[in-house]
Amino acid sequence: MSIYDTLNDKQQEAVFYTEGPLLILAGAGSGKTRVLTHRIAWLIDQIGVNPWNILAITFTNKAAGEMRERVDQIVGFGSESIWVSTFHSMCVRILRRYIDRLGYDTNFTIYDADDQKTLIKDVCKYLQIDTKMFKERSLLSAISSAKDELVTPEEMTLRAEGDWAKKKIAQVYTEYEKQLKANNALDFDDLLLKTVQLLQTQPDVLEYYQERFRYIMVDEYQDTNTVQFKLVSLLAGKYQNLCVVGDDDQSIYKFRGANIMNILNFEKEYPNAKVIKLEQNYRSTSTILNAANEVIRHNTGRKEKSLWTENGEGEKIQFRQFDSAYDEADYIVSDIKDKVNSGKREYKDFAILYRTNAQSRIFEEKMVVSNVPYKIVGGVNFYARREIKDLLAYLKTVDNGKDDLAVRRIINVPKRGIGLTTIGRVQDYATEREISFYEAILAAGSVPGIGRALGKIESFAALIEHFKAEGERMSVAELMDEIIDATGYVEELQADSDEEAESRLENIEELRNKIVAYEESCEAEDEKPTLSGFLEQVALVADIDSLDEETDYVVLMTLHSAKGLEFPHVYLAGLEDGIFPSYMTITADDPAELEEERRLCYVGITRAKENLTLTCARRRMVHGETQYNKMSRFLKEIPLSLLSTGALFKKEQTEEEPKVSAYRQAKQAFATKAFAATKPAQQFTVTKGKGPGYDVGDRVRHIKFGEGLVTQITEGGRDYEVTVDFDTAGTKKMFAMFAKLQKID
């Protein structure tokens, strides 16, 4: 019996069809990874294709690793020649080789989201952009969307003609790109955009990769954006042997630029394309699948398919409605604990899924109290932590001296007595002469007005030059140790006795572990570990890649993070109108928004293998206000015959009229009295657009509590509520009007 006999008829058809465009519509749990790996094996084993001519693209490093492992098991010899990678990893490989054609050095830095925020702040400051009017986040989003759609700064400027606001955004985009290039840096969107530009402008490079990748397979095709579509089209342009796998019902990343039309219009782009539907599900029970089918059936913008299984009917879906979100969390955590205590389950069998990250807090609290091990996927990324960013900035400076952000981050970390005024003068000198910040540091003696700080800057420059020289002969792990020792970074942390310092030291240790693991993986693959290689790996890592399936803990994650995963028992929490689907979606004019949310619900349901529990609460605290919500319309789309409602349901079927929230009451009262009052009452309100004079992330001073960091600003009806983490007095919440906080420059 051959390995291909284990496939069902439709899977075999997809594996054996090798020439020309192919669209595989693979429903959730239909074995698409299996099809892809067997298809690669068939190409090599039976068709005689050179592994070197095969490219397989996935969306996560984890999926790429799994695919490579499976291919190795099936094919064995020669599989290492296949390119199995994410879009971004593939583009980095191409750019490392050819980006000098576009005017960059091949040792470019990849900027993460934090680096981008810092850069956009610098750009806004330089261009004197009012960040109250043009929010930094919105500007970054506009730039990202432009890059996704292959729009250059020049094009954006032309399109903005006559529109003042759009002209401002185009101006920011132009300067942002200019500074990126000066720093020899690319952001994530650039990795794709620059690769497309390279292939469009360098015919010899395009021809090389078209010849190389004669057979291309793309997983999760429903999540591709315009630039990814263009990249794939260019590479497959010559031989047309393009196989794309996806499920339009699982397209949930519109907010990241994903374009569902790429999969819906595939046959228009490739009129001779063959379409194969994989509808047999190997993951879930028929009850769970029937619920998923019934929900998604309400969407109109989709390709017709219906999942089925031979797994049997299974248990009914548990549905519970609670008075409050606290009751909901209590029930879920207790239910998990009971099932584990019965000896039939382990903690790792359970996942709690929710719509937004904010919903995790209550579950966390209950888990801690109940002594249940858990892990949140999608919290603060390890590489976004301060101490990790600091040490990586040292490594980036050694690797790419043109990276101004990295150099500026560490010039006074640990503290060396180099103040902001000095840094500003060095920056001005660099800007005037159009040189990098680090080059200006090396020429610090020529910087006017630098005075007594010269010696400190020169010793910093000598330190970096020492690291660069050591980096030539040291391994990455040894260089990291040298940086930690020579800078005294860890010593400074050790002198700090608080708990946070302890956790930071643990994080640094973990960073060192990651470097060693990187070096070992290079040696295993017979590759030379390099500093650039490690930094590249760090830049391309995704949070989901850190999920350890062997460790025994309950997983908490958003529905977006859960895509591609499966668990024996899933709890889908917060199923209320206003939460899921969100209030924004319900009130949006575009019906496509609600369809996207429904696809997200479909993804959540189809994560469950054996048991699914759906929960909602009558009231829930959102943004500091109690909301009374009806159960989600998605719940109502599931036939009652598939649900087990417990004893509670009798009470719940007579839905109470939602109480009006305090905020809405106040709003109504204001509306009725506004015209009746003869003398307007003195109002104490927040003047919109005028913030308290400082932002989240700024350092401030309080007359009683001393200095601290602003961690949150909430806009209330009467004033701004500010949360400050004070250096000595701990965390305090206060009203801006009374706190009289002073920003520290």
Q: How many other C-beta atoms are found inside a 10 Å radius of the C-beta of residue 733? A: 12
- Going across the sheet that includes 706-715, the strands are 730-735, 720-726, 706-715, 699-702, 742-743
Q: 3-state DSSP call for residue 322?
A: strand
Active site residue 122: no
C-alpha closest to that of 108 among 192, 207, 2, 183: 183
Active site residue 33: yes
Torsion angle of the four alpha carbons 381, 384, 387, 389, in this order, in degrees rounded to the nearest 10:
140
Q: How many other C-beta atoms are found inside a 10 Å radius of the C-beta of residue 212? A: 14
Q: 3-state DSSP call for residue 557?
A: strand
Residue 510 backbone zone (phi > 0: left; psi -120 to 50: alpha; other: beta)? alpha
Active site residue 280: no
Active site residue 250: yes
Catalytic residue among 12, 13, 18, 33: 33
Token pair recorded at residue 562: 């859960």
- H/E stretch holding 567: strand 567-572
Name residue 707's beta-bridge partners: 701
- H/E stretch holding 110: strand 109-111
Catalytic residue among 220, 248, 399, 597: 220
Give the helix ranges, DSSP H, for 86-187.
87-98, 113-127, 136-148, 153-159, 164-182
Residue 624 to residue 232: CA distance in whole angstroms? 46
Name residue 350's beta-bridge partners: 569
Q: How many other C-beta atoms are found inside a 10 Å radius of the C-beta of residue 5? A: 7
C-alpha closest to that of 311 among 350, 349, 283: 283
Q: How far is CA 101 from CA 381, 427, 636, in A?
A: 34, 29, 57
Active site residue 32: yes
Token pair recorded at residue 252: 């949930």
Residue 638 backbone zone (phi > 0: left; psi -120 to 50: alpha; other: beta)? beta
Q: Are 197 and 102 in contact (CB under 8 A)?
A: yes
CA angle 302, 305, 308 (to 5 degrees): 145
Characterize 70-103 residue by residue with b for buried, 16 or more Cβ atoms within 10 angstroms of its Cβ, and e for exposed: bbbebbeeebeebbbbbbbbbbbebbeebbeeee
Catalytic residue among 10, 11, 32, 285: 32
Catalytic residue among 607, 618, 619, 633: 607
Active site residue 166: no
Catalytic positions, please? 32-33, 219-220, 250, 607
